[in-house]
């Protein structure tokens, strides 16, 4: 009987510890998601040219001092898309959030047809 009580108490203790651990970081959005959402809204403000529709790109960016975006590289087959992205978001200020310097964020971008 003592063994069953000991096992039950151990299981309850580990379950309570595991349940409380999951609740700690539930409401903290990740910096990459915040940056991606702001980039998508920045790109949506401009008229999309027809020659870049259906193209894809992977953009590597970093956040400079003062929360300014710096485009490091753009991997795409469409040079017009690369120029559009660079002209639209390079040196633009992010609206909210504090981001770490020195971290390179990768943001996939696909322009719908």
- Encode the chain (113 residues) as per-residue pLDDT tens digits: 666 665 666 666 767 665 555 555 555 568 888 888 999 999 888 898 899 999 999 999 999 888 899 999 999 999 999 999 999 999 999 887 778 887 899 999 999 88
Q: Which of 107, 8, 100 is nearest to 61 (CA)?
A: 107
Please say whether the beta carbons of 89 and 43 come within 8 A: yes
Domains in the chain, number:
1
Classify residue 5: in a domain, yes or no: no
Classify residue 71: in a domain, yes or no: yes
Classify residue 23: in a domain, yes or no: no
Residue 55: domain span: 31-110
Report how far residue 15's alpha carbon sits from residue 21's, in angstroms, rounded to the nearest whole number: 10
Q: What is the CATH number of the domain that holds 87?
A: 3.30.1150.10
Ramachandran sector of residue 84 (left: φ over 0; alpha: ψ -120 to 50; beta: rest): alpha
Classify residue 3: in a domain, yes or no: no
Classify residue 46: in a domain, yes or no: yes
């Amino acid at each position: 009987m003592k063994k069953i009580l000991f096992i039950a108490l151990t299981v309850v203790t580990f379950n309570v510890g595991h349940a409380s651990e999951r609740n700690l970081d539930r409401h903290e959005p990740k910096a990459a998601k915040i940056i991606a959402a702001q980039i998508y809204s920045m790109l949506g403000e401009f008229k999309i040219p027809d020659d870049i529709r259906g193209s894809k790109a992977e953009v590597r960016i970093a956040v400079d001092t003062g929360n300014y975006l710096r485009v490091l590289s753009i991997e795409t087959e469409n040079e017009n898309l690369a120029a559009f992205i660079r002209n639209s978001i390079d040196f633009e200020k992010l609206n909210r959030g504090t981001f770490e310097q020195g971290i390179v964020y990768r943001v996939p971008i696909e322009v719908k047809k």
